Each structure stands twice: as C-alpha cells, then as structure tokens.
A = this chain, B = another copy of it.
Amino acid sequence: MPNASSLPPGFPTVGIVGAGQLARMTAPAAAALGVRLRVLAGSRDESAAQVVPDAVIGAADDLDALRRLAEGCDVVTFEHEHVRPEHLEALLAEGVVVRPGPQALLHAQDKAVMRARLTEAGLPCPRWAVVSSADEVAGFADGTWPVVLKAARGGYDGRGVWVVGSAAEAEPVLAELASRGVACLAEEKVEFVRELSAQVARSPHGQAVAYPVVQTLQLGGICREVVAPAPGLVDDEAVAAQDVALRIAGLLDVVGMMAVELFETADGRVLVNELAMRPHNSGHWTIEGAVTSQFEQHLRAVLDLPLGSPAALAPLAVMANVLGGDHPDMYAPYRHVFARDPGLRAHMYGKQVRPGRKIGHVTVVGDGPLEPLLDRARHAAGYFMGEILE
C-alpha cells in the first residue's frame, strides 16, 4: 500500500461495498480521475480485488468489516444491495458518508417498500400486492394466471422470481420465503413487447443526468444483450422513460447511478420493473459508447463532482454478456474473436467459469444498421461461450 503522506493532496478515497465486476470496472475510472479506491471483498481472489490494491477482506453483512472499509474513506458506496440497512444507519451515526443513503437504498433492497412508494407517488408500476398465503395469491390473480411472485428482498439475476400458474404452484414459493422470513410480492405478469432500462445519475446537491434509454434482452432473468439506444423508441417515449427515472431519483433522494428496468407495453407505456442504485449491466455499453461511462459517473455523483455528459459517442452500441459454459479458458478465444473483428471490445472479469455465471461482456459501437452490430456482438459472445465454433 502506498504511504498516504507521499500521495498528491486533495484526492479522496471511495470505498465500495463489494468486489465483483462492477467494482472492477470502476477501478479504471477511479485511476483516471486519480481518485483512490478501496473495495470490500470476500477474498483477494474476487474480481475487483485482483485489480485494486486497497482491498479490505470481509463480508458485506458484517458491521465490523463495513467499519474497516469506511475507515479513512471520504465516501462509502455500493456495487450490490446485499447489506443491512441497520448497519448503514450505524455507519451514518458514526459520521461515515454513505451514498446512496440507506433510506434511498432501501428501495433497491425491498421490492415491497419500492412498490408502495412508487405507487403512492403515481409512478407507473404493474399491479401488485404483498401476499402471504395461496388464497391471497388466488385473490390477487382473480382468475388471470400466471402471476409473478417475487421475494421482496435478496433476489438478483432472476433468483427470487417465480412465475406461477395456480395457487397450488404458489404454495412452495410462499413456504420457502416464509421460512426465510422474507415477504412475498405478487405482480401481474406484464405482457411487455420488450424491456428497457433508463439510467440516471444524481448528485447530493440534486444535479441529475439521464443516459439514452436502452433495450435489454433478459433470458432466464439474466441480462444477455443491450442495444443503445433502444431501437425505434420515439422521442416522446424515450423522454417519458427518462422522466420516470429522474422522478424516482428525486423522490427517493438517490445519489449515484440508478438503473430503472422498465417493461414497454404494446400501447407504448412503460412500467417500472426493478431499481438498482449502482452501475448496472444495462450500462456496460457506456464504457466505450458514452462520453462518460456509468462507472466514472457513479464516482462523480457520490463525490458530488459535476456530472459528465451521458451522451452517446456513436449512433449505436450493442453489448452482449458472456456467461460461463463448458470451456474454462476464456483467454484462448481472443485469438479468434479479435482476428475476426478488430473493432470488438472485450471485458473479462477475472472470474472462474461456472455455467450461467456472468464472466465477461463484449461491446461493439458503430453507425448502424443495427443487424451487423448485433451479429458481431452475438458471434463473439457465442464463441466465448462455446456455442459458436468458428
């Protein structure tokens, strides 16, 4: 570790709870700004801890570990939501600057709290209810199945979401959540035409910027592809989606990046699906595709620096996730994919391959038309995953 007294003065230290790929991709932004980064990692082998010298080893649900992370940091922020609100309140009481604050973050942690707050504020949500019995699920369905059940807390990447076709199918879900002490939400299964993501950043003093609205393709609850901007989205629709995200950011006093995952319905409306108060998979395209990446923007927001331009650098960007498949070696494919496509941008997260695990992503940026860009991104991702052999 460097000796702090020999480093240039003025530059702050940002502590990130978590050391996955989102923290890893924040490291380049911090290095460019000269901002010092510290991560809270479960081990030295974690994705971000491989590339950040200042890694505090500990668990995100351990108040003592959070205190060790916060010690000497100018601000503590997050790359995931799996942290206890009471621990963050304890840090606040001890004078730690936590951004986003626990009152905001709660809405990304607890879907029941989020739904209640957004509904109260008139923001567009699917029909929803908190349910605790199969009878209540049946009452919510009112004869229209399937119904979506969600764990109010703790889900991610498709975990904690079930689509049930009857009250009987709801039983084991309700039993499992009850056994874990987690509330259950029932939501109408929205007949969406596609999924969108509206990312915004907001500063402590209220400056906010909105990124171009993107289209996301989710399979099995995992983001697979992002197209920026969302094709064919007319200006009014894009502005409406950005407006929803900006209103939520203001309503909840969000600080940092926030992604609002949206359903677009056949009649052109948007409904809020999920919130994430951190950099998000739907914003990875911004590394190469936007003036200011979501990772730098998050740092600027939590540091209360003026926000950077969220404008796109090119008419189109396509991002495709690389999930773990059969092959453990994700380096060898570079020889093929880079030779085939000199414009391909690749990101590998330093994670061991496990089936279905997000281990990297690729991005292509260009003028369009869209189809060749999609083909390039899909080919590269497919080749990494072993689904495409040449």
Measured CB to CB, the residues of A under 8 A from B are: 1-3, 6-12, 24-25, 27-28, 30-34, 36, 43-45, 49-53, 55, 209, 291-292, 300, 305-309, 311, 313-314, 328-332, 334-335, 338-339, 342-353, 359-360, 365
Residues in chain B near residue A31, CB distance under 8 A? 24-25, 27-28, 50-51, 350
CB contacts (< 8 Å) of A347 on chain B: these are 32-34
Contact residues of A: prevailing secondary structure: loop
Copies in the complex: 2
CB distance from A250 to the nearest CB of B (A): 20
A330 touching B365, Cβ below 8 Å = no
C-alpha gap A66/B333 in the complex (Å): 31
Instruction: Give the residue name and chain of the B residue nearest to A5 (CB).
Output: B45
Contacts of A209 in B (CB 8 A): 342
Q: B44 to A343, Cβ gap below 8 A?
A: no
Look across to chain B and name the residue whose beta carbon is closest to the beta carbon of A34.
B348
Decide: A7 and B45 in contact? CB cutoff 8 A.
Answer: yes
A305 contacts across to B, CB distance below 8 A: 334-335, 338
Given known contacts A2-B44, A335-B306, A338-B305, A7 and B50 CB-to-CB distance under 8 angstroms = yes
24 residue pairs A–B, Cβ–Cβ below 8 Å: A6-B45, A8-B351, A12-B331, A25-B31, A27-B27, A27-B28, A27-B31, A28-B28, A28-B31, A31-B50, A31-B51, A32-B348, A33-B334, A34-B348, A34-B349, A209-B342, A291-B345, A292-B342, A300-B338, A307-B338, A308-B338, A308-B343, A313-B313, A313-B365
The reply to whether A3 and B34 form a contact with Cβ atoms under 8 Å apart is no
Point out the residue from B3, B330, B351 that lies within 8 Å of A45, measured CB to CB.
Answer: B3
CA distance in complex: A268, B332 (Å): 45
Contact B53 A3 (CB under 8 A): no
Q: Is the CB of A353 within 8 A of B8?
A: yes
What's the nearest-Cβ distance from chain B to residue A381, in Å? 15
Inside 8 A of A50's CB, which chain B residues have their CB?
2, 7, 31, 36, 53
Bound-complex Cα distance A32 to B338 (A): 14
Within the assembled complex, what's the spacing in Å between the Cα atoms of A25 and B34? 11
**Complex contacts, A353 vs chain B, CB 8 Å:** 8
Residues of B within 8 A of A24 (CB): 31
**Residue of A30, A51, A330 with most chain B CB atoms under a 10 A cut-off:** A51
Residues in B with CB closer than 8 Å to A330 are 8, 10-11, 34
A25, B29: Cα distance in complex, Å: 11
Q: How far is the CA of A313 from the CA of B317 in the complex (A)?
A: 13
The 3 closest A-B pairs by CB, nearest first: A34-B348, A28-B28, A10-B329
CA of A206 to CA of B3, assembled, Å: 43
Chain B residues with CB under 8 Å of A314's CB are: 313
Given contacts A8-B330, A305-B335, 10 further A-B contacts (CB under 8 A): A6-B43, A8-B348, A10-B331, A28-B32, A33-B347, A34-B347, A291-B343, A291-B345, A306-B338, A313-B314
Distance A12 CA – B335 CA, assembled complex (angstroms): 13
CB distance from A299 to the nearest CB of B (A): 11
Give A320 to B66 CA distance when docked, in angstroms.
Answer: 40
B339 near A306: Cβ-Cβ < 8 Å: yes
Q: Tell me which residues across on chain B come within 8 A of A308, comparing CB atoms.
A: 338, 342-344
Nearest to A8 among chain B residues (CB) is: B352
Determine the residue in chain B with the shortest Cβ distance to A333. B10
Closest Cβ neighbor of A332 among chain B residues:
B10
Contacts of A338 in B (CB 8 A): 300, 305-308
